[in-house]
Structure 1
Amino acid sequence: MKFDRLRLSGFKSFVDPVDLQILPGLTWVVGPNGCGKSNLLEALRWVMGETSFKSMRGAGMEDVIFSGTTGRPSRNNAEVSLLLDNQQKTAPPEFNDEESVEVTRRIERDAGSAYRINGRDVRAKDVQLLFADASTGARSPALVKQGQIGELINAKPEARRKILEEAAGISGLHTRRHDAELRLRGAESNLEKVDDSLEILHNNLRALKRQVRQATRYKNLSGQIKEVEALALHLRWQQALDAATEAENALAAAEASVASLTGDSASASTEQLTAQDALPPLREKEAECAAIYRRLTIEQDGLEKEAQRATETVNRLIAQIETIQEDTRREQDVLTDAENQLKQITEEKEILQEKNAGASGEAVRAAEKAAQEKCDSSEKRLAEAENELNTTIRKLAAHQARKNEITVALENNRKKHARIEEERTRLELERDTLLEEGVSETRRQELKISISALSEDYKKAVESVQGAHDHLVVCTEQAETRAEPSRQARAVLERLLGEQSALQAILSTSEEADMPGLIETLKVETGYEAALGAAFGDDLNAPSDSEAAAHWLALPPLSELPSLPEGATPLSGYVDGSDVLSRSLSLVGLVNRSMGAALQKSLSPGQRLVSVEGDLWRWDGYCATADAKTPAAQRLAQMNRLEAIMPEIATAEQNANTADEAAQTAKAKVREATDADNSCREQLKQIQIKLTEAREELSEMESGAEKQISRLAAIEEACQRMTSDIDELAGMIKAGEGDLQALEDGGDALTSEQSSHQELVGEARSVFAQDRAERESLVRERNERESRLKRLEQDADSWQSRLENSHQQIESLNARQTHTDQEKLEAENIPQKLAERSSALVEQINLAETNRKQAADTLAEAENRLAEADKRHRAAQSALSEVRETRAALAAKTTAAKERLEEIGQNIKDTLHCAPEDALAIANFDSEKKFPESEEIEAKLERYRRERESLGGVNLRAEEEAEEVETQINEIQTERDDLSKAINKLRYGIGQLNREGRERLLAAFETVNGHFAKLFTQLFGGGTAELKLTESDDPLEAGLEIIAHPPGKKPQVMSLLSGGEQALTAMSLIFAVFLTNPSPICVLDEVDAPLDDANVERFCNMLTNIADSSDTRFLIITHHALTMARVNRLFGVTMQERGVSQLISVDLATAEQFAETGRDLSTDQNKDEMKSVG
């Protein structure tokens, strides 16, 4: 098949449909970085069945769908189609009816990929096999992507073998072999499951046979239980019937008693009602008389309270009159005081007004003016004195500030001088100490000698560690070597023990737990189990106990036995363990299976022939082949195997113990070697610590010497600088002391001047204070007179208001007294009127009390009559209630008896499915006989039920299930035979595939190796190279190693070559595969990037030669100008619209013809030779 065209739509950056023509020869694809050239190779691999999204440079397979740009929306699907030329009919048979094959892959978001071949839906695997059979595919070495040359260089030899498989055309071999192996493993697994199922079904069948016997016993017991239950139910039903009849009779007698007592109760009730009707009028009359009596009594109490209130009112009014008289007297006193105060205020006002008027007022104002002028003059003199004092104080303050400044500076200089002096002394002391503590040269030499010795010890310790490690490795290898036989021997022992346990578990189950079969006592020689099983079958499972339902009886030997046919050996010579079979064994002959059919005709009645293989020929014509093995034969074989396996277990246990001892000895040596290795490593560690400590000490000493020299130089320089600072500070201190003495002399004069001015200020302040006090005294007197006049006017207004209020209050009190006197006169007349009314009420109260007592006595007599009637009525009701309760109890008892009778009858119907009268017939009991006691029947029923329950869970369908299991065993056995045939067929097919693959791979290796050497020499311009199979003797599992010998260099593996040499070597191998088994297409993505111009030239020559000599079509993606000059056609990938790739093609041969004729290619874009396809 030939590749013709690749069509992309919506794939990555190719959003618009694009066709890439894949024509014979060399086709180059160029374009700037990032424009989508590599997407063409990925589209080709994707349509050929690539399933890894990582190989597509995406985070998921849906990333191959165009994701959109700023100017174009994203797409929901992508599709790539590959058109193949099938004119030579080299495609698989199902596609050879057509001359072209179109493979299409389409992916939709959230829907996955779909494959089609010529419009028909197929699987991804079908597409992969289609291309694998054509020596290509998504993972073909002929599709070289960016970086794949490096992957081939760095690949392991085993990974490089795929290139040989491509050359041999067996790329699909691994897939088919893997599928066949999967099917083989599946079939083997199914075979194991079938064997397990058969074993389970055989076990189930044996269990079902036991269950059949249990089911029979269960049915018999169930029948007996049903008869006893029927008898018990009949007795219960008869007892319930008698109890119901007796309850009905008692209920009828109770009904008669209830009717009699009901009449007595009605008479008593009539008498009670009559007495009750007489009570209400009497009670009303008694209540009326009592109400009249209470009303009169309450009225009498009201009159007494009213008289008391009248007395209290008189007393209250007398007290009010006294209060009013007291208030009047107090108001008269207030009136007199107000008149006196008004008179005094008027007199004082006249005196003050006289002082403020006339000549006296003028004199006061003149005195105030003179005092003010005198005060102003003394204040002016005080201000002048204070100004002079402030000037002197400021001068003295400036003088003191200067003095303080000089004092502080002098003190600071003295402290600084002392500090520097102290620091110089300390440095001189440190210098003397450093000179005395100089680094010991002797100690330095000792450390150097110690380091040299420790270095030698360290080398020896390293050698000891290496030796101990080598010894440990040897011991470990020996331990691993001896551990494997131990594991194998232990596995053999565990397998035998497991087989022993399984056999014991199988043989421990007997057909009847308490009666083991005869087969358990027999001893059969090994190899004759099938013969004995064929002769007797399941009869051997019967016990020799006569109590069993089926058993063997020990009978004496027959006096006359018919002789066996000639060539038959008695089977009794190979069986021991029981005399019960002596008669039967004497009639069984052992023959070769080829003679059995011929000798069957000469058998006497009762005789039978068997073969060692298990064939059976009976005298009556019955035959059975060895394929129909019986469970008895299997059990006998298992018993013999259990006996034979005991010595094997002993031998295996001895071998395992011996191997374990050897393994433990080797492990002990490993532990000793490990301890020695750890000891050597610990010794090495200690030496290394001492060596490190010595080196560190020496380094510290040398570093300390350098620091000491540097420190001494720094100290000397600091001492010189401090001496200079001390001299400078001494001069500054001396100058400061002189300035301070001069300031102290000038300060005394300023102090005297300040004292003089302070005395003058004091005198001026005293005069000013005296003048100001005199002025303020005159002003204060004038202000006090004016303020007193104002207060007197206010007091006069206040007393006038009090005088008027007192007149009004007196008038009000006189009116109140007149009104109170009138109320007092009225209140004194009320007690006389109340006494008259009280005398009349006393007579009415006595009459009302007499009437109330007569009505109460009449009511009490009527209530006594009603109590007697109630007592008689309650007695009648109590008797009636007791009889009714008795009747209700009897009715309930009758109902319960009937329900019990119905319940037992329904129980009989549900249990026995018959009427209660027919239960006795089901019990098979003669009604003329005496019925047994209920306890005896229940005990018998309980015994039968315990016997049935002791059987446990019983499968009543055991017989039907046993038949179904036998049918399943036959069907599964047929399936097992089919599986065995299929497994053998698969194994043969896998072997054939492996043999064919090895032959084709070895043949391809020789051919590829020859082409590789030739192409290597061509690309390198000399040198040699070869391929080698390594890592395995099986070519299908071996690795491929490349040995290159470039011109002028030694032979070396591929990884040691330079980058350009590695690329040329890899290309030589890739194209050697083409020459061996040419692939229909080869895609090279920028493989010439690491090559210089000379190598590119040779590379292009090689491509031209291969393209001319094969049908391989080349698609090369490149940036190299020299490469583009050697191609047949050129495709350009552009991205004029950001994020959208377009494809443009140019046929260079036609373009050259246009150039020769002088035509401009840009004026004829409709020609097929130059067209835009994107």
Structure 2
Amino acid sequence: MYLKSLEIQGFKSFPEKTRLTFDKPVTAIVGPNGSGKSNISDAILWVMGEQSTRTLRGGKMEDVIFGGTQKRPQLGFAEVSLILDNADHTLDTEFTEVMITRRYYRSGESEYFINRQMVRLKDVNELFMDTGLGREGYSIIGQGRIDAILSIKSTDRREIFEEAAGISRFRHRKEESERKLEHTEENLVRLGDKISELYLQVEPLQKQAETAKKYLLLRDELRGLEISVWMDSLDGLQEQITKTETDYLTALSQKDDVSREIDSYYETSLTFSDKMHEKDVELESVREAVSAQEAQIAEIDSATAVLKANLESNIGESERIRRELTEQEGRDGGIKAQIDERELRLGEISAEKAALSADSARLVGALQSIADTAGESSKRLGDMLSRENTLQEEISEAKSRLSALASKAQEILDRDGTVALDAAAAGEKHRQLEEDMSACADELDAAGDELQRIKNVITGYTMRRDSRKKKADAANDKKMHLTMELNSLKSRIRLLTEMEKDYQGYSKAVKLVMQESQRGILKHVHGTVGSLVQTDDKYAVAIETALGGAMQNIIVDTEEDGKEAINLLKRRDGGRATFLPISTVRGNVLDVPGLKNEPGYEGLAIDLVRSDGRYAGIYRSLLGRVAVAGSLDDAIRIARRHNNSFRIVTLDGQVLNAGGSMTGGSSSSNTGILSRANELKGLSEQEALLAESAARAEREHGEAVRELTASEYELESSGAEMRSLEDKVLKLDTNLRHFEALVSASAENLNAMRAEAENLAERIKANGDETAAARNDIAALESALSELRAQIARDTEGQEQLTSERDRITSALSELRAREASLDAENEALTKAVTELSELREILTGGRRQQMQYLDELKARHDAILKEISDNETALVQLGEKMAAFRARSAAITAEKLELEAARTRRDKVMQEKNHELLELERECARLEQKKLAAQMEEKQIIDRLWDSYEITRSVALTVRQELENPAEARRHISELKRDISSLGTPNIGAIEEFERVNTRYTYLTEQRDDVEKAKRELQEIIRDITQEMRTMFAREFENISLSFKETFLEFFGGGQASLELEDPNDILNCGIEIKVQPPGKALKTITLLSGGEKAFVASALYFSILKVRPTPFVVMDEIDAALDEANVLRFAENMRKMSVKTQMIVITHHRGTMEEADVLYGVTMQEQGVSRVLSIDLAEAEKTLKKDAS
């Protein structure tokens, strides 16, 4: 195996990635002081796992990272990689090439890699063990290593020899085994403590577990019986509910039957009512018929009276008509004379009408001639008038158009004024809207800022809330922790109290006596020796040891009391016990002169305890002659000085008996009874303090919760404010968008108004043009109209003359025609008068005939009235008969109605009785229903009790119930079980599981202790084997190195003697190593007496001798030739060349002689301050080049 290359990046003065290749036997690294060449050897040492910053020439590990210069910043990490050729598998790995990389970050993180796989530092160290490489190897030889060899302390040299002897791996294994052994022993101590503690818990927990198991058995038996009794009750209740349901249904059926009967009676009663109603209707009908007959009678009476009145009127009318017939016979002659007179006048009128007709024809002809002339003139005038009308209409139209244009102009002007006003108002409104929008935007910005502020406040409140929550959680954790500690302490106190109460640790006999004493069976028993004495914790073990078995002795008043207790033990076969009567036991106190002044003397045991004065004699007899010493050495010294004349006990329980015998070792089985009492007292005091701390923690937690609540209230209040602001921002944003829309609409409206104003201006101009044109048209039409009217005036004058002549003729013609009309009217009147007189004459003649007929009619009417009166009288007789019949029917109907009323009364009485029966049945139904409901409620209570007590349903209870032969006996047994359970007190159910857990833990830890003890023995065996192997290997290799050193010394110094010697051959693995040399011509000396150069040369010889025995793949020698003169440098270089056959040599040097032996030179320069650079020269190639140039 050899070193192929080294890659450095960010390490010390190498900020840039630098690669050094080592493919030649000897490589020299040269450069001026301070150039950083030694940083290369530091890099190799560092990558192989060196952890000492002092060895790496730094103050802290961070110093290995490039720290930066004025021109370069510092780097964040340093990385070095070492590439090794492992073809011969010197390293215990399957890879033929191994790259070890170490990377360190400025944050303090460190990483190791083997072939780019992350590993541990331990893996790197183990890889290099026994190869001479690594941080503990001898492959890196620097000034520090030289100093170690040259150290005055011979033990400092061992590390190099151990690595060379190949026992480093074994030493590491041994140290690891010793650490494991130490850890194992610590585990044994801890296991012993835990086993002791668990041992004290097992017995009381076992008793509690047995009590709990008994409780569970009783509880399960009680559960089964209670469930069965309850289910039996449920069966009875179910039968009761079923029977009650049947009775209820029967009563309900009877109630329904009675109800139906009542309904039937009610319907019958309704039938009676209907019949009575029918009778009432029929009676009313009869009464109405009677009333109708009475009305008809009254009507007939009234008609008869009218007929009689008509009869009298008929008689008077007949008398009048006879008188008128007499008067009409004288009037007929006068009417004949009037007719003749009027016919004569009609002849005269006819002659005059003929003359008037001739005159009328003449005038009509003249009128026609005028009419023809006037027609032509009138036609021409009509045309002109028509034209006049047309012109007037045109003028009117033109004026109307002019008026319309004026109106339109006014309308446009009005609209223009309105638009101007509206535009001004819209402009003002637009400006106001823009101001409102701006104000809204400002308010929105302010609200947004306020919202952001409150959000920041909420963030702060949230942080404070979170902080207070953490505080509250921490306070709660503290409270819970203290509560758990307090509960644990209480459990421990309870356990110790139970142990004290149950006399744990005492013998069976002591327990029996003390229990019977507590029950009052034994009198005058005070207690055990151990329970009636107190001492400080410091002396507890010593006092317990001094008392020994007497701890279990029982103090009584007299010998008789002791005798009674002994007899009890005999009767009960309870074992044996020792009793100490107060009345007889006496003791004295040791009095040895000078004892108090002995070093390590603590005092007499009797002086170190406290007890009731009544027991002074007993405790003097037990402790009065026992001294207490601090340690066994103190006890031995005191015993020797006083001739072993009294008993001495040490604080840790060792005993020197009077006479010189010694007792010691681990504590006896009764150890701990007194300590237990002290522990119980201390725990009680600790409980009070812990309870106070728990209460204080509770208050702190409450305060923290209140602060948290306040913070949450602040947060909620701020949240409400934030939500209000968010609503306000949203509302303002909505308002802003609304204002923006209004401003946009207002701008559009304003633009529309401006456009309309421009349009109105154009319309005003067009209207002015149309008005001027209309005025011109009106002037032209009025001129034409004036000319036409002048022509009309001329034509109208001629027309008026024709009209005057026509009026004259028309007037004359009208007079003629008026006379004709007058004659026609008179003729018509006379003709009509003649006709009327003729008709009157005929009427008078016909009227007499009519009056005669009328008289005949009056006579016939007279006879008819008489007959009708007779008929009415007959009808009245018949109606009287009918009235009598109707009255009789009314009486019969009234009697029938009374009978129906009596029947209905009887039926109502029966229905009342049925209603009473129905009420009783309803009460019975209600009672049965209430009874069923009560049974169902009781059933539900039992079902609820099943769930509340045992969390089971009725269906589940059916599966677990038991058949009860005697339910009453079962209930009695339930009471007994409850008493038994109550007598157990409050059982600790968890004790079963806790006992199983503790017992399992106790068994497991016991087994663990056995396993650990076995492992301890095995580790001790391994350590012995490793130690023996190391001794053998070191002895063998040390001898080889010693022989090699003698030879190498001769080679280096050219003579003289040298040897390596172990300071203690019996302890070759730990003793120092002396180096003795005798250079040629000088006396034999140790290495510390040599000069500086001699020391360096001897050290080099020693290293070379080691390399001969245990060669390493490569060696880095950092300026170890610095103290050598030129002659010794040449010898050093010569031997280095020889060694390069087996070991790759890398030397950092200033000496030319050493450089000349190198195959490759690496020059390290620092052209840039603080930054190292590497230049390489292949000397063999350079030599060839020089020889070639020379030839």
Query: What's the TM-score once normalised by structure 2's chain length?
Result: 0.38
Query: What's the TM-score once normalised by structure 1's chain length?
Result: 0.39
Which entry has the higher C-alpha Rg, 1 or 2? 2
